[in-house]
Structures are given as C-alpha cells and as structure tokens.
Amino acid sequence: MTLAADAREAEIHLEHVSKWFGRGENDAEMLRAVDGLDISIARGEMVALLGKTGCGKSTTFNMICGLLAPSEGTVRVQGCDPFKNFNDLRGKIAVVFQNDRLLPWRTAIGNVELGLEMLDMPRPEGRKIAQSWLSRLGLEGHENDYPHALSGGMRQRVSIARAFATDASILLCDEPFSALDEITGQRLREEFANLVRENRKTAVFITHSINEALQIGDRVVVMTRPAKIAYDVRLGDGATSEQNAAIRARIQDVLAA
C-alpha cells in the first residue's frame, strides 16, 4: 500500500515527520528528536510504541496529540492536521499521561467530568457518565474525594476514567502505568487493555517496557534514536511461545543496538 493510500485509510498517519528543537542556524545547534518518521495506524489497532528513554517517543506522542507541530512532514489524525486543525479533533482524542495530571482543585468525579464539559454535555448527563466510569474502575464511594486523598493507583484510575468518559475514538497513552508499583500496574494494564478492546478504540501506547508492549499491543513498533522505526511487528493471537520468544529476542537486539 502506498503512503497516500495509507493516509486515506489510516486513523493516524505520519509521513516523513521530523522534529527538532533549538534556534540555531546550523544542524549542530539543533536537537533532532524525530527524524523522518513514517507510520500508519489503522482504526481499532492497539499499537505499542516501544523505545528507550529519550528516543523521541513523547515528542511523537505530542505531535499526534496536536500539542507540538512537526518541523517537517505531515501528521494526520482522522484526516486532520492535529496541530493546525486543533479544535476539529475535539472529543475525538483522549489522553492518559505518565502521571495522573488530576486537577487538584477538582474532586475525582469533577476530574472525570472535565472532558465532558469541553464537549458541552449537560451537567446531569455528564455526571451520570462520570459516575458510571468511576464505578467501572472500582472507585465507587470516592467520587467526592480530592486527588490528595487518593492513592497513586486510584489517581491513575481516575485519569483513565477521564479519558474513557469522553468516548473518544482514539486513545493516546504515555507510559501511564510506569509510576505505579508492579502489582497495581499489572492489574491496571489488564483492565485498560480490556477496556480498549471492549470499546473498540484505536490506541497508541507509549512504553519503555518490552513486557508491557507485548502484553498490550496488537502491534509493537520499536523506535531508536532519533525516533526512527527499527522494527515493526504484529502480534498474532495464535502465536506459539517460540514465536513470541523470537519476537522478544529480536526486540531486545534492536534496543541493544
């Protein structure tokens, strides 16, 4: 399939995307975070973007989200430029960040309602939806707690509820479980993957953990510095343990290179 065809059919499409930081006149003064990145993500796909710290994953994430403009190339989300046509994607993208980023002056339910307020949803309806997502994520009884009164795991659940409440078709997740302890992280990861599949979302999941990428992704894209794709693999449901072990070994080799 050509890149143009990909762009038409893909939910998220990046073509020859580069991003550099700095104001210098020459290349030596620029920090090149992403360099000629091409990637297409189809509707309903759950892609794990895997790479070492500092490889440009978060910059890529911010460009897809529309918070950063690419220095070169094109980024398209549902056919729109997420930076230039920022408001056109309102309600279509939801984000789960590395840390929970809850507004400290809002209660748990107030935080979940945030995205719904942006969509001008009537307050009673928004409250009902926020309440149901909090219940679904095991936070019944904590609706009126402020973030400081919640544990790290509970706060991250609130941020997941906040992302799902808007019913956006695209979910962007930037290492959302990396700050949690292993058991809580594992449990939330499973819940999260089930929710994404049940709700048929397109999800981009950034991680630096091979285990997490293999557990969550239908497809794992390994990035090397500066944010170039070094390995792109689809994980089949019926893969044998030998096949999975081979994929893991290949990923380890790519990351070690």
Partner 1 sequence: MARSMRKRGAFPHTAMRAAEILAPFLLLAAVWQIASYNFPSYLFPSLIDVFVHTIAIFASWSLFAEVLATVGRILAGLVGAFLLGTAIATVMARFRGIDRFLAPILNFFQGIPALSWVVFAIIWFHGTEPRIFFIMTMTALPAFTFQVLDALRGMSNDLVEMVMSFRPTRGKMFRVMILPAILPDILTAWKVNLGNASRVVVVAELVGATGGVGYELLQQQQIFDMAGALAWTLQLVFFVLIMQKIIALIEAYAFRYRAISERSL
Q: Does 127 bind partner 1 (CB under 8 A)?
A: no
Nearer to partner 1, 38 or 81 (CB): 81
Q: Please, what is the minimum distance in Å from the beta carbon of residue 137 to partner 1? A: 18
Count Cβ neighbours within 10 Å for each residue of 101-110 and write b for 16 or more, e otherwise. Answer: ebeeeebbbb
Say what the alpha-carbon torsion angle 92, 208, 238, 246 is, to the nearest 10 degrees.
150
Nearer to partner 1, 165 or 247 (CB): 165
Residues 171-230 that bind partner 1 (CB under 8 A): none
Nearer to partner 1, 31 or 103 (CB): 103
- Spatial distance between the Cα atoms of 151 and 43, rounded to a whole number of angstroms: 34
Amino acid at 180: L
Q: Please, what is the minimum distance in Å from the beta carbon of residue 94 to partner 1? A: 8
Q: Please, what is the minimum distance in Å from the beta carbon of residue 152 to partner 1? A: 14
- Spatial distance between the Cα atoms of 106 and 134, rounded to a whole number of angstroms: 15
Q: Does 242 bind partner 1 (CB under 8 A)?
A: no
- Spatial distance between the Cα atoms of 246 and 251, rounded to a whole number of angstroms: 9
Q: Please, what is the minimum distance in Å from the beta carbon of residue 167 to partner 1? A: 13
- The count of C-alpha atoms lying within 13 angstroms of the C-alpha of 130, restricted to the half-sphere facing its C-beta, is 25
Q: How far apart are the first and last CA of the chain?
A: 29
Q: What are phi and psi of 170, to 5 degrees?
A: -120, 130
Nearer to partner 1, 6 or 174 (CB): 174
Nearer to partner 1, 67 or 249 (CB): 67
Q: Please, what is the minimum distance in Å from the beta carbon of residue 18 to partner 1? A: 22
Q: Does 31 bind partner 1 (CB under 8 A)?
A: no
For the packed helices 108-118 and 123-136, what is the interaxial angle rounded to 10 degrees? Answer: 130
Residues 97-126 that bind partner 1 (CB under 8 A): 97, 99, 101, 103-107, 114-115, 117-118
Handedness of CA 68, 73, 78, 84 (dihedral sign): positive
Residues 43-102 that bind partner 1 (CB under 8 A): 65-67, 86-87, 89-91, 93-95, 97, 99, 101
Where on the chain is the footprint of partner 1 (CB under 8 A)?
Answer: 65-67, 86-87, 89-91, 93-95, 97, 99, 101, 103-107, 114-115, 117-118, 146-149, 166
